[in-house]
Amino acid sequence: MDPIDLRSDTVTKPTPEMRRAMAEAEVGDDVFGDDPTVHALEERAAELLGKEAGLFVTSGTMGNLVVQMAHLARGEEAIAGYQSHVVLDEAAGHAVVVGASVRALRERADGTMDPDEIRSAFRDASDPHQPITGLVVIENTHAHSMGRPLSVAYTAEVAGIAHENGIPLHVDGARFWNAAVALGVSGPELAAPADSVTFCLSKGLACPVGSVVVGTREFIWRARRARKLLGGGMRQAGILAAAGLVALRDGSAGMIERLADDHANARRLATDLASLSGIRSAGDIAQPGDGPLDPARVVTNFVLFRVEGDRRAFADACAARGLLLDLFPHGQLRAVTHYGIGMADVERAVAIFRSVLAETRPGQPASSATRP
């Protein structure tokens, strides 16, 4: 039996329809602007987010990098969350490539930064000692807070602060569609306050490769130049974009609507996990979890939790039984639901958790469901 792979939603493989669309895609040299399938994807993404234009990039990391190159001049500074992907997980691209610094602010348990702290993080541009604040970045969903979705109201509030100071807001929306589905809002509603948004096709939307950046036509032109500089000008990229077009279809023909199933599966997994002794809360970002896991905190496709004892040994014991987890920062374990993981897999995963706990914690009932 294949392992149940809950390490990430990046492990998803393309659907049969995606593979067909890729095989049959009409292509051209996209560096010459000749690939109709790439054009169609970029237009579709822009339309879905209510923006003027889109740019297909190789990854979310490249997306965030071209965005920073397009928004920031050398020596400028971005305000971003201390636990955000652009700060932690992009190999300091802002410093190495963009020539910008980051002013990192603490996030709260719900993944937001305190608006007053954002306000006071702006530098004084009239003081020659200081860097010049040039961008605010928020992450939606916010991974380290258990994949919390940031609301339209919060996005608008942060955009308001950025715009009062004459600078843009970027939304790192690697899992933007998880946020929109969880909040029950449309793409344009959630994206409206932002000047640019990046979202990944290669995570919960199950495409093999790629992300899309959206914004104004003029901004996308600068991002396109930046992509070229990074070596990201791709030729017959319509083969890849074709999968994205399948993912972004309306309704049940596409991959957005079904994210609700991943959220329901994650909630179910958390509910069952919470009933097992030896499973602890992930805590919030700032605080280790010492209470029980609270399933109500699971609103998208991430379940973060801790175990009593050695988490690596725990993860290894799960892996030996066919359940793969990710070792997340802050001493947490992460289980992510996604396309290809159904309710039966969740049930099997819970049985594996139960048997590993029984082995490592004598006294734990090895069988019989404890879930009410």
Ligand X SMILES: *Cc1c(COP(=O)(O)O)cnc(C)c1O
Stretch that binds ligand X, among 25-33, 59-67, 246-254, 304-312 (CB under 6 A): 59-67
Q: Which of 54, 60, 238, 278 binds ligand X (CB under 6 A)?
A: 60
Q: 14 or 278, CB closer to ligand X? A: 14
Among 5, 30, 54, 59, binds ligand X (CB under 6 A): 59
Q: How far is the CB of 171 from ligand X (least distance, A)?
A: 10
For ligand X, the closer CB: 44 or 203: 203
301 near ligand X (CB under 6 A) = no
User: What string marks each residue from 203 to 242 as x (binds ligand X by CB under 6 A) or -?
Assistant: --------x-------------------------------
The number of residues in the chain equals 372
Smallest gap, in angstroms, from Cβ of residue 51 to ligand X? Answer: 18
Are residues 173 and 179 in contact, defined by beta-carbon separation less than 8 angstroms?
Answer: yes
Say which residues have a Cβ less than 8 Å from residue 197's Cβ, sequence separation at least 6: 49, 51, 170, 171, 173, 176, 191, 213, 214, 215
Helix axes 36-49, 238-247, angle to 10 degrees: 30
Task: Please state, in angstroms and rounded to a whole number, the distance separating the CA atoms of residues 323 and 335.
Answer: 10
12 binding ligand X? (CB under 6 A): no
Give the closest residue to 67 by CA, choosing from 220, 173, 179, 233.
220
User: What CA–CA distances, in Å, run from 220 to 54, 186, 200, 331?
Assistant: 7, 22, 17, 39
Our CB check for ligand X shows the closer of 11 and 132 to be 11
Listing DSSP states for 334-370 in one string gives: EEE--TT--HHHHHHHHHHHHHHHHHHSTTS--SS--
End-to-end Cα spacing for the chain: 29
Q: Check binding of 202 to ligand X (CB under 6 A).
A: yes
Could you say which residues in the range 122-181 bind ligand X, by CB under 6 A?
139, 143, 172, 174
Per-residue x/- track, 74-113, ligand X (CB under 6 A): -----------x----------------------------
Closest by CA to 6, choosing from 298, 257, 366, 362, is: 298
Question: What is the smallest separation between the CB atom of 42 and ligand X, expressed in angstroms?
Answer: 17
**53-61, 92-100, 101-109, 303-311 -> range binding ligand X (CB under 6 A):** 53-61
Q: What are phi and psi of 9, to 5 degrees?
A: -80, 0
At its nearest, how many Å lie between ligand X and the CB of residue 115?
20
Cβ nearer to ligand X, comparing 42 with 272: 42
Footprint of ligand X on this chain (CB under 6 A)? 59-61, 64, 85, 139, 143, 172, 174, 200, 202, 211
